[in-house]
A and B are shown apart, each in its own frame.
Chain A
């Protein structure tokens, strides 16, 4: 089965703590994305990557960091600098960046602050 997996489904963060959200895809897609969704709102782009070892900031990158060491993996770290991290985080992938093909989404991780 091809698709995108995210783990964990729920994640709790203590104040001052860094936490990492996992995203894995077996679609052989070059491009991967991280979005944040707040209640009743659309998605906002945090970071995106078009190829291994390359990534770019999106609209709301402050307080977040990513890495792309493997094509199939794009983990997101929510750092202590992110003062309002409670949200639903969605990872997505697409064949590439240029063509505008649809993005495929994972099931999401809900991050809550203790």
Chain B
């Protein structure tokens, strides 16, 4: 059974510092991995989706890497801003998962202090 873990559960950084968020998964047979952002009391917004054949994806200040063999993904957010404060969740789709089923980590709650 796939398990997804995100450590730390919470993170506080001063504005301008780079953010590094970690995600690990137990079963390397994944179809893809996604990073989502969730603001308090809101739904999820997809940030980046990495297919199993890719090593990384970039969008603006965001860069996500994927290392299937070690079961890890890292989300980098460059030059953090107070507007980046949110909870970030990673989710994996197993290669044999039925129904586009995603397994989510517990999230990392980020606070960027001005």
A residues lining the B interface (CB < 8 Å):
4, 6, 31, 33, 40-45, 48, 50, 56, 58, 88, 90, 92, 94, 96-108, 110
Contact = CB atoms under 8 A, between A and B. Distances in A.
Given A100-B32, A100-B93, A45 B102 contact: yes
Nearest to A90: B43
Interface stretch (B14-22, B58-66, B70-78, B104-112): B104-112
B53 to A, nearest CB: 12
Nearest to B36: A105
Contacts of B100: 31, 33, 48, 94, 96-101, 103
A102 B100 CA distance: 9
Nearest to B90: A42
B7 interface: no
A40 B108 CA distance: 9
B9 interface: yes
Contacts of A107: 42-43
B49 interface: yes
A40 to B, nearest CB: 6
Interface string B24-68: 000000011010100001111110010100000000000000000
11 contacts: A41-B106, A42-B4, A43-B102, A97-B100, A100-B51, A100-B100, A102-B46, A102-B49, A104-B46, A105-B44, A110-B41
Contacts of B99: 31, 48, 50, 56, 58, 97
> Which of B45, B46, B100, B104 counts the most A-chain CB atoms under 10 A from its CB?
B100
Contacts of A33: 100
B66 to A, nearest CB: 14
B1 to A, nearest CB: 10
A26 to B, nearest CB: 16
B89 A58 contact: no
Contact of B43 (A31, A40, A108): A108
A11 B107 CA distance: 25
Contacts of A98: 100
A48 B101 contact: yes
